[in-house]
């Protein structure tokens, strides 16, 4: 028995070394942590239970018989983050470049199954050169096994992907199927085909960074939700993100003891919206004055910055915040902003997180490019997401809620539970100038002083429609409130809605306008 | 009988010597205790406005560290900051539990 134990211990020792000390040193020289170091940072001390540490591949072609490492390039297991159970896998770049093999897939699938059956979040740390070419089609099929589990777990347990190295080819679709993607600023990239293939096929010359670097995915493609300066910061973001999410779709997110007075009113909010409606203001500052102090975690801050989405806390409870940002393109809804908002609302709905919407939107962005690129289809996503969501939904109209944007952004008709408006709210079918030119076309054409008459009509239109009281009269607004009252109002409303239950008609699944 | 005075004298001398030595010992012990007490005298409790023993920079650093730790715990929803354990359904009402069950059921019973 002693000899058998010695054998086991020696094998475990070897597994701990991954690809060997030299490759570990190389990984450190690149400014990256090893897979085991990342897991150690992520999980509570001594909570990690590894599975499949001694598994190795069965290939012998292309000299693979001599390249057997215990664990086969991925570390899988379960553990705890701040006392919460989680499942985790981390690809080990020191072992054959973290290449994706059949054994890797089996290990990852095992942990995916365990996570789904146990109803615990799954965190994947990706650092892999791609499919293991030596294994041929078996390696490709193995990706499919992971994808199907990503899809089945979607909306049931939170799935978070952390990209801290290369992630190319088919490998990109597993993170893309998860709920959140966090990328390291200095060491990660994601693409379907690399710069060399693109050069050969289309003739376009592009660098790795320009093609699939973290900045590109955080600001242009929208693939990445958060960026982190280094491995440790990325892992810290995972912990923060998880703090707003429940263990699974039947549970509530963890609430924390309230540390900011529920009745706090910030007088500065009464002056947050400029009198001159053409002047922008920072919606992030408004949100910061309403939510629990320092509790906002913005998601996709660099993608479609004309919309703001993120998690926050109100009286210690997790909430999802959706807002227009008047500082960027007047907070208009365009294709990317629609995608961003729709995805976030659906994420909140899946995980029982109430949605608070701050509206200051002049409408959907007009333009040929937007129309041709499908603003109708993408804009419909926002409507679909709000209508479908059964979590508590509250809207606060801070200034403009014009046309389709009024309707789409959590209006009463989108099954919002409560709609508040600030006295500065302007709710109308369209902007004053446009409306006057349509409504008074004949009068304006025949007027001696067209400009003066138009100014007069615009003033009258504004007086009639650019206030919240008309909408309140017809029941589209529940209450017009002082801006400083917003925090206590929201907290009391959420207290009521905490036990809200709403059921959609039975169906296999809706046809989301993708 | 003639030895009695001598005996009493010797006894008195012995007792005097013993008591003298005991008095000396008492004096030494008392002196030692006084010295000890003076050396280990407890510091007077800090009064508001009294001079801090810790350097202001150190007090600032400790305060910042405590606040940072508290903020990090809140951000991570660490156990110390939580009002209930994630996954615990003790806080959820039956209404919510039953409602969630209905929400997650694709088809009503008997139609599957």
* Res B83: pLDDT: 85
Question: What tokens does A292 get?
Answer: 């629990």
A254 and B85: CB-CB below 8 Å?
A: yes
* Res B110: pLDDT: 52
* Res B47: pLDDT: 63
| A349: nearest Cα among A444, A414, A400 | A414
Chain center to CA of A268: 30
Q: What is the pTM of this model?
A: 0.85
Interface test with B, best of A243, A317, A508 (most B CBs within 10 A): A243
Residues whose CB falls within 8 Å of the CB of residue A10, separated by 6 or more in sequence, listed in order: none
* Res A409: pLDDT: 92
Gap between the Cα atoms of A85 and A253, Å rounded: 14
Residues of B with CB under 8 A from a CB of A: 71, 74-79, 81-87, 89, 91-93, 95-96, 98-108, 111
Write out residues in chain A with pLDDT < 50, as ranges: none
In a 10 Å sphere around its CB, with 0-12 CB exposed, 13-18 middle and 19+ buried, how is residue A308 labelled? buried
- Given the candidates 3.90.470.20, 3.40.50.300, 3.90.1150.10, 3.90.226.10, the CATH classification of the domain at A2-242 is 3.90.226.10
Residues of A with CB under 8 A from a CB of B: 81-85, 119, 239-240, 242-244, 246-247, 249-259, 294-295, 297, 316, 352, 390, 498-499, 501-504, 506-508
Q: Is A170 noted as a catalytic residue in this protein? A: yes
Q: How far is CA A378 from CA A30, A46, A151, A343, in A?
A: 40, 46, 22, 11
pLDDT in tens, A429-451: 887 888 888 888 888 888 888 88
Question: What tokens does A322 get?
Answer: 């959706």
Q: Please pick, among A169, A320, A363, A379, the residue that the annotation labels catalytic.
A: A169
Output the DSSP codes for A234-301.
HHHHHHHHHTTS-SSTTSPPPPB---S-TT---GGGGGTS-SSTTS---HHHHHHHHSSTT--EEEST
Q: Is A20 noted as a catalytic residue in this protein? A: no
Output the DSSP codes for A176-226.
HHSSEEEEETTT-EEESS-HHHHHHHH-----HHHHH-HHHIIIII---SE
Q: Is the pLDDT of residue B52 over 70?
A: no
* Res B46: pLDDT: 57
Residues of A in contact with B87 (CB under 8 A): 84-85, 119, 246-247, 251
Q: Is A310 noted as a catalytic residue in this protein? A: no
Highest mean pLDDT among A131-140, B56-65, B94-103: B56-65
Question: What tokens does B72 get?
Answer: 């990090």
Question: What tokens does A213 get?
Answer: 């670097």
Is the backbone of residue A185 left (phi > 0), alpha (psi -120 to 50) or beta?
A: alpha
Is the backbone of residue B107 left (phi > 0), alpha (psi -120 to 50) or beta?
A: beta
CB A347 within 8 A of CB A320: yes
CB contacts < 8 Å between A and B, how many?
Answer: 91
CB A358 within 8 A of CB A401: no
pLDDT band at B45 (very low <50, low <70, confident <90, very high): low
Fold of A267-425+467-497: 2-enoyl-CoA Hydratase; Chain A, domain 1 (3.90.226)
Question: Which residue(s) pair with A91 in the sheet?
Answer: A74
pLDDT band at B103 (very low <50, low <70, confident <90, very high): confident
Q: If you average pLDDT over residues B42-56, what whole number do you get? A: 67
pLDDT band at B43 (very low <50, low <70, confident <90, very high): low
CB A49 within 8 A of CB A72: no
Residue length of chain B? 112
Question: What tokens does A168 get?
Answer: 């190319």
Nearest to A259 among B74, B76, B86 (CB): B74
Residues of B in contact with A257 (CB under 8 A): 81-83
Interface predicted TM-score (ipTM): 0.73
Q: Is the pLDDT of residue B107 over 60?
A: no
* Res B42: pLDDT: 63
* Res A72: pLDDT: 85
In a 10 Å sphere around its CB, with 0-12 CB exposed, 13-18 middle and 19+ buried, how is residue B8 labelled? exposed
Gap between the Cα atoms of A48 and A234, Å rounded: 19
In a 10 Å sphere around its CB, with 0-12 CB exposed, 13-18 middle and 19+ buried, how is residue A10 labelled? exposed
What stretch(es) of chain A map to CATH 3.90.226.10? 2-242, 267-425+467-497
The residue of chain A with its CA nearest to that of B98 is A501
* Res B111: pLDDT: 46
Q: Is A405 noted as a catalytic residue in this protein? A: yes
* Res A181: pLDDT: 97
Q: If you average pLDDT over residues B94-103, what whole number do you get? A: 81
Nearest to A508 among B71, B100, B106 (CB): B106
């Amino acid at each position: 028995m002693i000899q058998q134990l010695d054998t086991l211990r020696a094998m475990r020792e070897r597994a701990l070394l991954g690809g060997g000390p030299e490759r570990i040193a190389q990984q450190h020289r690149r400014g990256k942590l090893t897979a085991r170091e990342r897991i150690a940072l992520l999980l509570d001390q001594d909570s990690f239970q590894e599975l499949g540490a001694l598994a190795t591949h069965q290939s012998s072609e292309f000299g693979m018989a001599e390249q057997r490492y215990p664990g086969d390039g991925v570390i899988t297991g379960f553990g705890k983050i701040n006392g919460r159970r989680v499942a985790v896998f981390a690809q080990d770049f020191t072992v054959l470049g973290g290449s994706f093999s059949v054994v890797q897939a089996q290990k990852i699938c095992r942990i995916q199954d365990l996570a789904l059956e146990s109803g615990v979040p799954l965190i994947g740390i990706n650092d892999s050169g791609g499919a293991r070419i030596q294994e041929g089609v078996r390696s490709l099929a193995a990706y499919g096994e992971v994808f199907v589990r990503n899809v089945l777990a979607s909306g049931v347990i939170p799935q978070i992907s952390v990209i801290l190295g290369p992630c190319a080819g088919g490998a990109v679709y597993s993170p893309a199927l998860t709920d959140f993607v966090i990328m390291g600023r200095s060491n990660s990239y994601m693409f379907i085909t690399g710069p060399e293939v693109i050069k050969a096929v289309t003739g376009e010359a592009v660098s790795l960074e320009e093609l699939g670097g973290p900045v590109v995915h955080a600001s242009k493609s929208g693939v990445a939700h958060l960026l982190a300066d280094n491995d440790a910061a990325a892992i810290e973001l995972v912990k923060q993100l998880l703090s707003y999410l429940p263990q699974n779709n039947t549970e509530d997110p963890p609430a924390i003891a309230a540390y900011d007075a529920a009745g706090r009113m910030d007088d500065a909010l009464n002056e947050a919206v400029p009198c001159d409606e053409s002047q922008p203001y920072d919606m992030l500052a408004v949100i910061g004055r309403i939510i629990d102090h320092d509790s906002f975690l913005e998601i996709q801050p660099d993608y479609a910055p004309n919309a703001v989405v993120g998690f926050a806390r109100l009286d210690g409870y997790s909430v999802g915040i959706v807002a227009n940002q008047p500082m960027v393109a007047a907070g208009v809804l365009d294709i990317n902003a629609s995608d961003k908002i729709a995805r976030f609302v659906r994420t909140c709905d899946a995980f029982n997180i109430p949605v608070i919407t701050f509206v200051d939107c002049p409408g959907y962005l007009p333009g040929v490019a937007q129309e041709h690129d499908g603003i109708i289809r993408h804009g419909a996503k926002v409507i679909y997401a709000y209508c479908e969501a059964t979590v508590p939904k509250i809207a606060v109209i801070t200034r403009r809620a014009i046309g389709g944007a009024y309707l789409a952004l959590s209006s009463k008709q989108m099954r919002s539970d409560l709609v508040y408006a600030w006295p500065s709210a302007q709710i109308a079918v369209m902007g004053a100038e446009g409306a006057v030119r349509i409504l008074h076309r004949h009068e304006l054409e025949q007027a001696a002083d067209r400009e003066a008459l138009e100014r007069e009509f615009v003033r009258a239109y504004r007086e009639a429609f650019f206030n919240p009281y008309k909408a309140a009269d017809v029941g589209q607004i529940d209450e017009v409130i002082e801006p400083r009252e917003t925090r206590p109002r929201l907290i009391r409303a959420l207290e009521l809605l905490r036990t809200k239950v709403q059921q959609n008609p039975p169906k296999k699944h809706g046809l989301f306008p993708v | 009988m003639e030895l009695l005075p001598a005996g009493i004298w010797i006894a008195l001398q012995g007792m005097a010597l013993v008591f003298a030595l005991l008095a000396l010992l008492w004096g030494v012990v008392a002196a030692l205790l006084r010295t000890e007490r003076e050396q280990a005298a407890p510091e007077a409790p800090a009064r508001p406005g009294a001079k801090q023993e810790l350097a202001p920079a150190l007090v600032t650093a400790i305060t910042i560290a405590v606040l940072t730790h508290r903020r990090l715990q809140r951000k991570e929803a660490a156990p110390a900051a939580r009002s209930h354990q994630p996954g615990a359904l003790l806080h959820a009402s039956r209404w919510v539990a039953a409602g969630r069950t209905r929400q997650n059921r694709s088809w009503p019973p008997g139609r599957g």
